[in-house]
Structure 1
Amino acid sequence: MFDRSKSKGWYIRRGIGFAFLGALAVALFGFVVMSLWNWLLPALFGAKAITYWQALGLLVLSRILLGGFHRHHRSGFHHRRHMFERWERMTPEERERFRQGFRGRHCGHREAEGN
């Protein structure tokens, strides 16, 4: 039979594992940024060397300025599944209209308008 206590424990261990891997990735990225900065920028531009914590600060600042902290709502798999479900609900006429519109927009074909 299905034992819920093992299931909870498994999810907790998995969550702790993901948190550990995430912390390890952040630490590694911080070290890589610090190493690259200290290797390239002083030699190329005369910039000062930075510490590990300054490198982590740069990572956070670049994330805020360039990427934000939003999550992407749909992965490719979910988007494809959603489109497949919509396709299945279409009538044959709607499918043909969709194909024609898709070809006109994405395949370089332009329908002659008024010719």
Structure 2
Amino acid sequence: MKTTFNRNRKKFFLIPFGIAALLAIISSVVMLLWNNLLPEILHVSTITFWQAMGIFILSKILFGFGKGGGGGPWGRHKVVERFKSMSPEERREFKEQMKEKMCGWKKPNSENS
């Protein structure tokens, strides 16, 4: 009997090439966007393909690789789940606490919420 690895050896062999191709495409997009937008907007110089790849990799290291959806960068999905399980009184109290934390700032036209 063949193991899964032996049956899918070609797929495992192609994975590094797929990753390299994806990285090259993303780096090209970063380079094109940078070179077409930022020199006119921020008066910066243009970048090369390798610099674009470095910027992309650095941004992934600093800001994370993402979790595929998950509800936002600050764990908003956790707050939504907690909010769903609250009673109406707990919701009102939570909203009041959030208003205090936000220094009383309100969105326009949100007088009745």
Distance 1:8-1:63 versus aligned 2 partners, 3 A rule: closer
Tell me the percent identity: 32
Match runs of 1:74-89 below 5 Å? none
CA RMSD of aligned residues (A): 3.1
Matched pairs, number: 79
1:15-54 deviations in Å (ceiling 9; x for gaps): 1222221111000000000010000001111110000000
> 2:30 maps to what in 1?
33
Which one of 43, 48, 66 corresponds to residue 46 of structure 1?
43
Larger Rg: 1
Partner Cα distance (1:59, 1:4) in 2: 40
> 1:110 maps to what in 2?
88
Letter in 2 for 1:54: Q
Q: CA deviation at 1:9?
A: 3.5
Distance 1:52-1:105 versus aligned 2 partners, 3 A rule: closer
Alignment TM-score, normalising by the size of structure 1 = 0.55
Alignment TM-score, normalising by the size of structure 2 = 0.56
Q: CA deviation at 1:109?
A: 3.7
Letter in 2 for 1:24: A
Distance 1:8-1:107 versus aligned 2 partners, 3 A rule: closer
Which protein has the bigger helix share? 1
Moved over 4 A (4+): none
Q: CA deviation at 1:14?
A: 1.0
Partner Cα distance (1:109, 1:21) in 2: 49
